[in-house]
Chain A
């Protein structure tokens, strides 16, 4: 079974430029998450989708970040314009179930991440 797919794996841009990351979750997984991971830290949630609905975007800096999950499958996270402090790894994860899911339906599986460097 294929895991979570993310692209690109690496991206280097200059500040003030736009950037987009793409994620394709595990087939059949209804819930998709975008996390941000700074060096030496654990991942932090940016946004969570159940199917095509963003059910939790409270941690997403909406002045420059946006996300979409059209058709409830793959998703795109965008930053415009990028700032130096946005340099980090952007992780996508997916899980079978939605709110209140238990057991294996609640397990989140991560992709390899996109490492963003803003110069």
Chain B
């Protein structure tokens, strides 16, 4: 069974303090790894998809990287508006397109 573990569960950072969120996964043939941002009371907002080990994608202050066992979401010089829950999900080649999500990392950026 596909599994996704995210750490830490919660992270508080000062504005401008860079850090990384971790997503460890086990999947029977990775087709894609997805990162979403979710604000309270809203649906997940798509950020990135990574398909192969070594791949990196960037968007503003966020950079996602992928290895064969885990993915990192690096946040550089975060701002208070980056506060949200960040969800990681994997999609397997033989999983009927299903995304298997982790429980997320709740990120708080303190001004």
| Chain B residues in 8 Å Cβ range of A115 | 41
- Determine if A45 is an interface residue (Cβ-Cβ < 8 Å): yes
A55 and B95 CA atoms in complex are apart in Å by 12
With A42-B102, A106-B32 as known contacts, state yes or no: A113 contacts B96, CB within 8 Å: no
- Determine if A116 is an interface residue (Cβ-Cβ < 8 Å): no
B103–A40 CB distance below 8 A: yes
A107–B49 CB distance below 8 A: yes
| Chain B residues in 8 Å Cβ range of A4 | 43
Residues of B55-111 at the interface with A, using a CB-CB cut-off of 8 Å, are 87, 89, 91, 96-99, 101-104
A99 and B36 CA atoms in complex are apart in Å by 21
Q: Min CB distance, B21 to chain A, in Å?
A: 14
A56 and B104 CA atoms in complex are apart in Å by 25
| Chain A residues in 8 Å Cβ range of B97 | 31, 48, 56, 98-99, 101, 106
A42–B32 CB distance below 8 A: no
- CB contact between B98 and one of A45, A107, A109 (< 8 Å): that residue: A45
How many chain A residues touch B (CB < 8 A): the figure is 27
With A42-B87, A42-B89, A42-B104 as known contacts, state yes or no: A110 contacts B99, CB within 8 Å: no
Q: Min CB distance, B37 to chain A, in Å?
A: 11
| Chain A residues in 8 Å Cβ range of B96 | 48, 55-56, 58, 99
How many chain B residues touch A (CB < 8 A): the figure is 22
A42–B46 CB distance below 8 A: no
- CB contact between A110 and one of B32, B41, B44, B104 (< 8 Å): that residue: B44
Q: Min CB distance, A50 to chain B, in Å?
A: 9
Given A31-B97, A108-B46, output 16 extra A-B contacts at Cβ < 8 Å. Answer: A40-B103, A42-B102, A43-B87, A45-B99, A48-B98, A56-B96, A56-B97, A91-B43, A106-B49, A108-B34, A108-B99, A109-B46, A110-B45, A111-B43, A112-B41, A113-B43
Chosen A-B contacts, 8 in total, with CB atoms closer than 8 Å, are A41-B103, A42-B4, A42-B104, A43-B99, A48-B97, A56-B98, A108-B99, A112-B43
Interface residues of A (CB under 8 A from B): 4, 31, 40-45, 48, 55-56, 58, 91, 93, 98-99, 101, 103, 106-113, 115
